[in-house]
Chain A
Amino acid sequence: MRFKVSHTTRYKYAAPASESFAELRVWPRDSESQKIISRELVIKPEVRADHYLDYFGNHVEFFSIPFRHSEVRVISEAEIETFPYEPRPAVLDTPIGEARQIYNSTLFRLFEYLQPTELAPLTPARKKIRKVFFHETQPIGEALLKLNQWIFKTFEYKPGVTDVSTPLDDVIKNKRGVCQDFAHLMLAILRSHGIPARYVSGYIEAFDPEKTDPELIGAAASHAWVEVFLPGGFWWGLDPTNNQAAGERHVKVAVGRDYNDVAPMRGTYKGALDQQLQVMVSLTRTANATT
């Protein structure tokens, strides 16, 4: 499928700020499941952006606005083609026990995706969630989908009740949150069971124009899900917010250990403490690819 993505971030300051600095991770990355056809970044007021690839291979753009301004607008636009990309059934049938052994043999590259992080600590998941998700003999694919579904069913999607600083403990206790919380929760559960997984930020298409399926959640802003490392080297995207595997309607932007590694915009400014943030994301399907 082909999409046009537009991701606008707008900061409006109550009093003019004298300087703003920010690091962006809003440039979708190429992968087996998607190809970036074109990409453009517009910053208003107009300033140049520097680019580099980070530790996790994400595109990072940095800009600074060194003069007085009362508004910053960052518009990231891209055209992307996504492809169906699914693990082989044989991989999904691998028993958990066997998968763990395979992980142990390639632990060096997976180590960081098994460690606790500030936003996805393992202790709350270990202590507060009694449910057993993984049995040695169970096929990994089935177990993962069950976990995905359990989060979807147990936790209520409720925007506004949590933010980045909400500890995982509270999310587990109150049983509600947004895609970001569900992704962190799933990461914590997976990692505490020795299954390597990473955080994905991206976009999702809410309505399928060709079908009448119910709306998918998470399209209004950046979306988040997880990728699990399957034996053989396949990173399998799972979206607990929508109870499904990530598919052609998911556009991947950046990956990391948790949200902190992929934050779409991290910045500071000098000025009055009063600011308004507005984020708009649109993902529109364009004419089917001709190629």
Chain B
Amino acid sequence: MLQSADQPNHFRDYSASHRDEAFAGNAVAQPYQAIVKALNDCSAHELKVRQQRLDRAAAELGIQFALPGERSREAIDWKLDLFPRVLSAEDWDVISRGVIQRAQAFNAYISDIYHEQKILSERVLPFELPLRDPAFHRSFSGIESHGGRYCLTGAFDLVRMPDGEWQVLENQLATPIGVSYILQNRRLLAQCFPELFATMNVAPVASFSTYLTEALRAQTDVANPNIVLLTRGETNQTHFEEGFLARHMGISLVRPADLLVRDSYVYLKTIRGLERVDVIYRRVESSTVDPIATAGTSFEGVPGLVNVIRKGNVSIVNALGSGVADNRAILRYSDRIIGYYTGRRAILPTAPTYHLSDHDQRDYVLENFDSMVLKPVQDHASLRKRLGFKGLLDSPAELKRLAKQYPEYCVAQPVISPSQLPRFRGGDFSPHTVFMRAFFILGEEPVVLPGGLTRQTSRHHRSGRLSVYAEGMKDTWAPAEAVIDRDIPITKTITGERISIGSRTAESLYWAGRYLNRAENTARQFNTLENLRWDQLGLMDQQAYWPLLQAIAAANSHKYAKRKRMPRDTLKFSTQLVLDPSEAASVNACVLSAQFNLGAVRSAISPECWQTLRELAIYLGNQSRGRVTRSKLRESSDQVVSEVARFQGLAERTMLHDDAWQFYRIGGFLERALGVLYLLEVALPRAAETYRADDEESTDLTALLRLNASLDAYRREYRSRAYLDRVARLLLLSPNNPSSVNYCVRNVRYAIGTLSISGERDVGEGVVAGIDALISYLESLPINHMFPSPVPGLDAGGSSEESPSVKPNVIKKQLNALTKELEKLHENIEDVFFSHQHVYARSPVLFES
């Protein structure tokens, strides 16, 4: 190819090896001619600028999709090279036919293994290989998959050998990652280097997610099915891939805790009620979907799900146990498997694979050990668990140990030298080895994603295995004319209106609201008492304040609440109240619980909030270590009060004020109302016992106001000393005092009223009616009767001589009843929005005797 003299040639010093796809000798290979020319049309500076632009855009994606609040170390390190991989029409023809053929064969294989096992009884391959596979779960035997599709979608890892032959290195039929990366890479390159796309008619990749949606849709007979993507959302990688796919496909992203099995059906729990699920796109390992069906797994998963699948009441994609096709021990027999099930010769050969339990093969591997890569038969944790293998099986040393101890769980593949492509780095192109993952959908009309995920190998390549990161990726082009257009009718999504949030998110935020409020409350009350005792009251006998401290303990369901006398070791008691993380009700434990709840729904809160909370939790963790002193306790609770306030402010300012946010508020207000009531239940009857109207100043009552952050409010409202009835009125009924029960309950009602849950299933109606009843009950409390005014002269014009009779028992009873109703409100919220018990429970009746 000729270049004009004044045009740059970025490839002049490029030293292509015989493995290079783009350069054969001095000539540019046909598919790459246009690209090379287009790149040479740009100056060296221009290329650098484009690569920088790509890097910036990629870095932004990495940040955008990383889990909020995570360290950058775990963030997605996204690198896209500007030199794309271009597949020739001939190559693409072989790849697409070969991928579909192989997918169909292994689909039949999965079905066979979980049913008749004909391929084993006919001795087509050694039966011990599949039977020993840790991914083969007997508990999934006999389960039918809709349309006989056991691996509806999957991938194969391919390499192009120097002679131009494409080989399969591994099967990836369980839950391979990569589609989102392909789609994003195309978008990034098209945005940052649109000129490149003028060189060729590139087959688009974006429709793959639409095809996938259609294929999932076809996995059920239900019209307009409800499809969910089931994830555990643990790593940034999966968080990105699955979040992206779910959004592109218009389906809900759910975790096991979002699903519920009822009467042989599986439902998605939302704050609008239960939504039946028809298809589950599974991105979690089969053995963890149901703790009942699989022995020895932990309690994650959806109990009873396998039974629903077995009954055919929900489709799961890919079928449970489809990982048996990824068993590396059977790779050696791929050609036989393809021949057995399709009756044809394999289009794509498989890379040589040796199984170490076979003596001859093992000898061969040992003789050529330096040119071999060891791999376990499966990557799952289940293999390590079965063998009791301590290592992670990700280093050559550990794999060697595996090969020695358990050769039957180990295979070897010769180190291969697949094709290379130019990679742009530091202003130059240099050759770099590449791998490719090709994706397919085995629907009515099988589809192969035109292109694939091409990755550049890394020096630190994990024992020759592919990892998504590697050393960056390449956009991969298939010529549009080589891709058969699939005329798949696209169904319009009617369910785009699913705006209701999941119950799990709502519940987590609700509890976070409650725990944070409780932490702040306890911390503030503790501080108030400490200050009262030491600053204001001087030598006041501590014993006199025990009832109030006890009331705080009661408000926090602390075990000291029931003690008559003050504990001798008040420091210990105070530590338990503030710092001790093992005391379930301590401030520290509450902050940890709030963190735990929010940690599970991190995408629903802002990174700023998460960071604040994490810092507070770390601070308290440090404070609780070592010797605890009284001043340390005061300092800690001071910090909690101000940090929680900061959190509230940040939440108000940085979080979307949506339904999720409302549940955070509902939790907070309910907790505050309950906290006030628990305190009053103990403190008011006590205060009434010792109360004498003609006392100059009731220190107890002043303290009670302070404990509820209401002293200032009282002074503004009444401009008088503390009278029992007025204190009670302010803390129970005031519509303006943020610490009054009435204020809190009204806010709960308001928050529930704003939820977008109206419509056919307005589940919130009952709750709101309940709250209305509660408010009117509260407002009609016989305050005058409970707390007869000590100054009738002022209030009613009577004579102050008639000493009013205060009955502590009556007060106690009334407050008790009120607390019970508030607790019932919590249960009601829980039943209706979170656990969906109301479907079965009779509608709760308020104020039953």
State the A residues within 8 Å of B (CB). Answer: 18-19, 21-23, 48, 50, 52-56, 62, 64, 66-68, 107-108, 111-112, 115, 118, 121, 260-261, 263, 266-268, 270
Which of A48, A52, A67 interacts with B310 by CB under 8 Å?
A: A52
User: B492 contacts which chain A residues (CB < 8 A)?
Assistant: none
Scan B116-144; emit 1 where CB is below 8 A from any A CB, else 0. 00001101000110011000001101100
In the complex, A107 Cα to B131 Cα: how many Å?
12
Given contacts A66-B840, A268-B291, contact A54 B138 (CB under 8 A): yes
Interface pair B841/A52, CB less than 8 Å apart: no
- If the complex has contacts A62-B307, A260-B296, are A50 and B142 also in contact, measured as CB distance less than 8 A? no
- Distance in Å from the Cβ of B42 to the closest Cβ of chain A? 60
Is B64 engaged at the interface, CB distance under 8 Å to the other chain? no
The contact sample of 28 A-B pairs, CB cut-off 8 A, is A18-B835, A18-B837, A21-B303, A22-B292, A50-B310, A54-B138, A54-B139, A54-B141, A55-B138, A62-B292, A64-B303, A66-B261, A66-B262, A67-B837, A67-B840, A67-B841, A68-B840, A68-B841, A108-B120, A108-B123, A115-B132, A118-B296, A121-B388, A261-B295, A263-B295, A268-B291, A268-B292, A268-B299
Contacts of B132 in A (CB 8 A): 115
- Residues of A within 8 Å of B295, CB to CB, are 260-261, 263, 266
Q: Taking the complex as formed, is B293 at the interface, i.e. its CB lies under 8 A from any CB of chain A?
A: yes
Residues of chain B within 8 A of A111, CB atoms compared:
127-128, 131
Question: What 15 additional pairs, Cβ within 8 angstroms, besides A53-B142, A67-B840?
Answer: A18-B835, A18-B837, A23-B293, A52-B142, A54-B142, A66-B840, A67-B837, A108-B127, A111-B128, A112-B131, A118-B296, A118-B385, A260-B296, A266-B292, A268-B292
Using known A-B contacts A55-B138, A115-B132, A118-B386, determine if residue A68 contacts B837 with beta carbons closer than 8 Å: yes
B840, A55: Cβ atoms under 8 Å?
A: no
Q: Which residue of A lies closest to B114 (CB)?
A: A55
Docked Cα-Cα span, A260 to B303, in Å, equals 17
Q: Return chain A residues, CB-CB under 8 Å to B231.
A: none
Residues of B within 8 A of A115 (CB): 131-132
Question: Which residues on B sit within 8 Å (CB–CB) of A64?
Answer: 261-263, 303-304
CA distance in complex: A54, B295 (Å): 14
B142 close to A55 (CB less than 8 A): yes
CB distance from A167 to the nearest CB of B (A): 10
How far is it, in angstroms, between the C-alpha of A180 and the C-alpha of B128 when the chains are bound? 27
Residues of A with C-beta under 8 A to B623: none
- Find the B residue at minimum CB distance from A20: B303
A261 to B263, CA, bound (A): 25
Contact partners of A50 in chain B: CB under 8 A: 264, 307, 310-311
Given A50-B311, A118-B296, also A21-B141 (CB < 8 A): no
Determine the chain A residues whose CB is within 8 A of the CB of B123 once the complex forms: 108
- Distance, CA A263 to CA B388, complexed state (A): 22
A111 to B138, CA, bound (A): 14
Query: Which listed residue (A52, A55, A68, A268) contacts B303, Cβ 8 A?
Result: A268
Complex Cα distance, B837 from A22, in Å, reads 19
8 A Cβ contacts from B293-317 to A: 293, 295-296, 299, 303-304, 307, 310-311
B interface residue numbers (CB < 8 A to A):
120-121, 123, 127-128, 131-132, 138-139, 141-142, 260-264, 291-293, 295-296, 299, 303-304, 307, 310-311, 385-386, 388, 835, 837, 839-841
Are B835 and A267 in touch, CB under 8 angstroms?
no
Question: Can you name the residue of chain A whose Cβ is closest to the Cβ of B836?
Answer: A66
A67 to B131, CA, bound (A): 40
Chain B residues near A54: list those with CB within 8 A.
138-139, 141-142
Among the interface residues B131, B142, B307, which one has the most CB atoms of the partner chain A within 10 A?
Answer: B307
C-alpha spacing A118/B297, complex, angstroms = 12
Task: Give min CB distance, A229 to chain B, whole Å.
Answer: 16
- In the bound complex, residues from chain B placing their C-beta under 8 Å from that of A268 are 291-292, 299, 303
The chain A residue with its CB closest to the CB of B291 is A268
* Whole-angstrom CA separation of A128 from B299 in the bound complex: 33
Closest B residue to A167 by beta carbon equals B388
CA separation between A52 and B131, bound complex, in Å?
22
State A64–B293 Cα separation when bound (angstroms).
13
Q: A residues within 8 A CB of B260? A: 19, 66
Collect the chain B residues with CB atoms within 8 Å of residue A270's CB. Answer: 835
* Residue of chain B at shortest CB distance from A116: B386
| Docked-complex contact A267 and B292, CB < 8 angstroms | yes
A108 partner residues in chain B, CB cutoff 8 A = 120-121, 123, 127
- Cβ–Cβ < 8 Å partners of B841 in chain A: 67-68
Chain B's closest residue to A61 (CB) is B307
Q: State whether A62 touches B127 (Cβ < 8 A).
A: no
Residues in chain B near residue A22, CB distance under 8 A:
292
Complex Cα spacing A266 to B260, Å: 18
Q: Min CB distance, A272 to chain B, in Å? A: 13
Closest to B301 in A: A268
Interface hub of B260, B295, B296 (most chain A Cβ within 10 A): B295
B603 to A: closest C-beta gap in Å: 24
Q: Please, how many angstroms separate the alpha-carbon atoms of A268 and B127 in the complex?
A: 35
Residues of B with C-beta under 8 A to A18: 835, 837
Complex-state Cα separation, A66 to B261, whole angstroms: 8
Q: Report Cα–Cα, A19/B120, bound state, in Å.
A: 41
Q: A66 to B837, alpha carbons, bound, how many Å?
A: 8
A21 touches B261 (CB 8 A): yes
Residues of A within 8 A of B262 (CB): 64, 66
Give the docked Cα–Cα distance between A229 and B304 (Å).
34
Smallest CB separation, A43 vs chain B (Å): 14
Give complex CA distance A21, B264 in Å: 11
- B contact residues around A23 at 8 Å (CB): 292-293, 307
Taking CB atoms, residues of chain A closer than 8 Å to B121 are 108
Q: Which residues of A contact B127 (CB under 8 A)?
A: 107-108, 111
Distance in angstroms from B192 CB to nearest chain A CB is: 50
Assuming the A-B contacts A108-B121, A108-B127, are A55 and B837 also in contact, with contact meaning beta carbons closer than 8 angstroms in the complex? no
Chain B residues whose CB sits within 8 angstroms of the CB of A263 once the complex forms: 295
Which residues of chain B have C-beta atoms less than 8 A from A52's C-beta?
A: 142, 310
Closest 9 CB pairs of A and B: A260-B295, A55-B138, A67-B840, A21-B303, A55-B141, A21-B304, A62-B307, A108-B127, A268-B303
For A112, what are the chain B residues with a Cβ–Cβ distance below 8 Å? Answer: 131
**Smallest CB separation, B674 vs chain A (Å):** 19
Chain B positions within 8 Å of A260 at CB level: 295-296
Q: How far is the CA of A24 from the CA of B293 in the complex (A)?
A: 11
Distance (whole angstroms) from the CB of B259 to the closest CB of chain A: 12
* Cα–Cα, bound, A21→B132 (Å): 30
Q: How far is the CA of A54 from the CA of B388 in the complex (A)?
A: 27
- Distance in Å: Cβ of B263 to nearest Cβ of chain A: 7
Interfacial chain A residues near B835, Cβ < 8 Å: 18, 270
Q: How many Å lie between the Cα of A111 and that of B117 in the bound state?
A: 14
Q: Which residues of A contact B138 (CB under 8 A)?
A: 54-56, 261
